[in-house]
Structure 1
Amino acid sequence: MLYIQPAIFSTLAFASWAAANLVPSPIFKRADTWGGSVSLGPTKSTIVKAVTTIIPGPAPPTQNGVLFLWPGMSNGTGDLIQATLESWQSNSWCGATTGQWCVRASVFGWFGQLDGNPSPVSGSDQVRIEYALQADKNTWLQTVTNAVTGALLSTYSSPSGPYMRGYGTGTECNDNCSGTIAAQSYINTVITLASADTTFGGTIATAGGATYSGLTSSDGGKVWSIASISIPAMSKAPQTTTTSKTTTKATTASTKTTTKANTTGGSGGCSAPQYAQCGGNGFAGCTSCASPYTCKLQNEWYSQCL
Structure 2
Amino acid sequence: MSFTTILSTLALSALVRAAPTPSTDDVYPNYEYGNMFYLGPTTNSQYITKATYSLSVPAPPTDYLTSSPDERWLSLWIGLQDNPNTSDVLDMNFVQPLLNWGPNNAIWGCDADVEHWCAAASTYTPAEQIGQEYVALPSNATLDFVVEVNADTGMIDQSISLAGKIISQESDSKGMQPAVFYSGTECYLDGCGTVDAHSWFNITLELNEADADLDKTMTLTGATSSGMVTTDGGKTWTIESIVIEKQNMTE
| TM-score range normalised by the length of the shorter chain | 0.7 to 0.9
- Structure label with greater radius of gyration: 1
Indicate the SS of the match to 1:135.
coil
Give the deviation of 1:180 after TM superposition: 4.2
Please, which of 186, 201, 210 is the counterpart of residue 196 of structure 1?
210
Work out the CA distance in 2 between the residues paired with 1:106 and 1:186: 18
What's the counterpart of residue 78 of structure 1?
92
Q: After superposition, where does 1:100-115 map in structure 2 within 5 Å?
A: 100-115=116-131
Give the deviation of 1:124 after TM superposition: 1.6
The normalised TM-score by structure 2 is 0.77
Q: Aligned in 2, Cα 1:137/1:163: closer, same or farther, shift over 3 Å?
A: farther
Q: Structure 1, residues 62-115: CA drift from partner, whole Å, max 9, x if none?
A: 665111000111114611111010112212332212221110010012113210
Pairing 1:116–2:132 present: yes
What's the counterpart of residue 97 of structure 1?
113
Q: Aligned in 2, Cα 1:23/1:231: closer, same or farther, shift over 3 Å?
A: closer
What's the counterpart of residue 263 of structure 1?
none
Q: Aligned in 2, Cα 1:35/1:29: closer, same or farther, shift over 3 Å?
A: closer
Work out the CA distance in 2 between the residues paired with 1:236 and 1:184: 14
Q: Percent identity?
A: 27
Give the deviation of 1:23 after TM superposition: 5.8
Please, which of 192, 216, 219 is the counterpart of residue 178 of structure 1?
192
Q: Aligned in 2, Cα 1:111/1:22: closer, same or farther, shift over 3 Å?
A: closer
Give the deviation of 1:203 after TM superposition: 0.5
More helix by share: 2
Pairing 1:35–2:34 present: yes
> How many corresponding residue pairs?
214
The normalised TM-score by structure 1 is 0.64
Give the deviation of 1:137 after TM superposition: 5.9
Mean CA deviation greater in 53-62 or 190-199: 53-62
Give the deviation of 1:228 after TM superposition: 0.6
Work out the CA distance in 2 between the residues paired with 1:29 and 1:169: 18
Q: After superposition, where does 1:1-306 map in structure 2 within 5 Å?
A: 31-43=30-42, 44=44, 45-60=46-61, 65-76=72-83, 78-92=92-106, 93-136=109-152, 138-146=154-162, 149-207=163-221, 209-237=222-250
Q: Aligned in 2, Cα 1:186/1:23: closer, same or farther, shift over 3 Å?
A: closer
Q: Structure 1, residues 277-298: CA drift from partner, whole Å, max 9, x if none?
A: xxxxxxxxxxxxxxxxxxxxxx
Give the deviation of 1:136 after TM superposition: 3.5
Work out the CA distance in 2 between the residues paired with 1:136 and 1:167: 23
Work out the CA distance in 1 between the residues paired with 2:60 and 2:135: 14
For structure 2, which runs of at least 5 residues remain unmatched after alignment? Answer: 10-26, 84-90
Give the deviation of 1:138 after TM superposition: 2.5
User: Greater relative contact order: 1 or 2 (C-alpha under 8 angstroms, separation 6 or more)?
Assistant: 2
Work out the CA distance in 1 between the residues paired with 2:249 and 2:240: 29
